[in-house]
Amino acid sequence: MSMELEKCKIVWQNAALYFSVFQEVISSIIAGPINAVYFRKNFKILNIGKLHFEVESLVRNCFILHVLNWFGKVYLGGILNNELHYLTGNKYKNKKFDKVIFAIGSCENHGEHLPFGTDTFVSHILAQKVAMQVDGLLVLPPINIGYSGHYADFAFSLSLKSETLIAVIKDMIESVISNGISKIFVMNGHDGNIAPIEIATREMKVKYPEVKIATLDAWWVAVGKLIPRGTFEAWNGLGHAGEGETSMALQLFEELVQMEYAKGVVPDNLVDHIDIKWLFNELTNCGVTGDPTKATKEKGCLMEEALLKLLVDFFKKMDANNWNYSSTVTLS
């Protein structure tokens, strides 16, 4: 073997060694499936310098090739193979999907510190991660714009009319049914979508009684009941871009968050158990309710784990029962 080839072999072997250490470290940090945003963030943190590697630039480049090769196998073999957008006709035919999940989010102001797409990002990323743990679950493209008329005073907020959103959801469901799938899960990410989802899914169930439809209408309410009492410090973690939602953003897409601009108003004049139909500028002058300054990535991790467990357990239980949820008890 020539000296040049021997040198290349040594460089590649060294890079492989460094990569194996990197893989162990990142695997210990990422609990559960990874998504592209989360990977990029941790890759940036766990760079070669932080791992105390002193290597030549050539070894560094080979190390990166190892990482990209591994990441392609893990990521492309996971999330992308469960997302309709990324599948070929051949892959879809061979995957044998029997149920779908799709997110409905929004594009609206989330204060000075969170991106406009927060509601879509959270709900869609959760859908991606659930699909990596549930056999036969196909992730459909999210609906990126919801009903946000009540947030319109804070730029830049896009909104569909409620009747438009209802029609879009119905069209999505009927498209799924026409493709031979009758188990449908709607993952909502935005408060303004709750009523349109309820109307659309109820009407679809009446029209297609054989179809199974389930929804998670308000993850931000459900998660408060799933994580340890006392986790949140302000307003039970609630609020638009507040403590809970900001914690989820820090967990799922931290690099898009600007915590230095985080501020919020905790409404002090609302009445318990009564739903006042407010405009958002009646509750806050900064586009945020709750206290995002109390948000942490650790809280977001607890929230993500609790929600993933809830959703994965639901699908596994329903699959085990062949999606039969009829009561077994009858009165004579």
The pLDDT, as a whole number, for residue 3 is 59
The pLDDT, as a whole number, for residue 270 is 94
Give residue-wise pLDDT tens across range 43-53. Answer: 444 444 444 44
Collapsed DSSP state (helix, strand, coil) of residue 294: helix
Contact 256, 249 (CB under 8 A): yes
Q: Where are the domains of the chain?
A: 3-76, 82-267+278-320
Nearest Cα residue to 137 out of 258, 19, 328, 312: 312
Give residue-wise pLDDT tens across range 212-242. Answer: 999 999 999 999 999 999 999 999 999 999 9
* Segments in the chain below pLDDT 70: 1-79
- DSSP conformation class of 233: S
Nearest Cα residue to 188 out of 242, 122, 256: 122
The pLDDT, as a whole number, for residue 4 is 57
The pLDDT, as a whole number, for residue 330 is 86
DSSP string, 68-85: HHHHHHHHHTTTGGGBGG
The pLDDT, as a whole number, for residue 41 is 46
The pLDDT, as a whole number, for residue 18 is 57
Nearest Cα residue to 172 out of 131, 138, 148: 138
- The Cα–Cα gap between 290 and 264 comes to 6
Tell me the CATH number of domain 82-267+278-320, given options 3.40.50.10310, 3.40.50.300, 1.20.1510.10, 3.30.1490.100: 3.40.50.10310
- The Cα–Cα gap between 298 and 251 comes to 8
- The Cα–Cα gap between 112 and 106 comes to 16
Nearest Cα residue to 231 out of 137, 314, 174, 305: 305
The pLDDT, as a whole number, for residue 20 is 59
Structure token pair of residue 240: 């638009």
Q: Which residues are bridge partners to 216 per DSSP? A: 187
- Name residues whose C-beta falls within 8 Å of residue 195's C-beta, 6 or more positions apart in sequence: 147, 162
Cβ neighbour number for residue 56 with a 10 Å cutoff: 11
pTM of the predicted structure, to 2 decimals: 0.79
Query: Strand pairing of 99-104 and 183-188?
Result: parallel
The pLDDT, as a whole number, for residue 54 is 42
Contact 123, 103 (CB under 8 A): yes
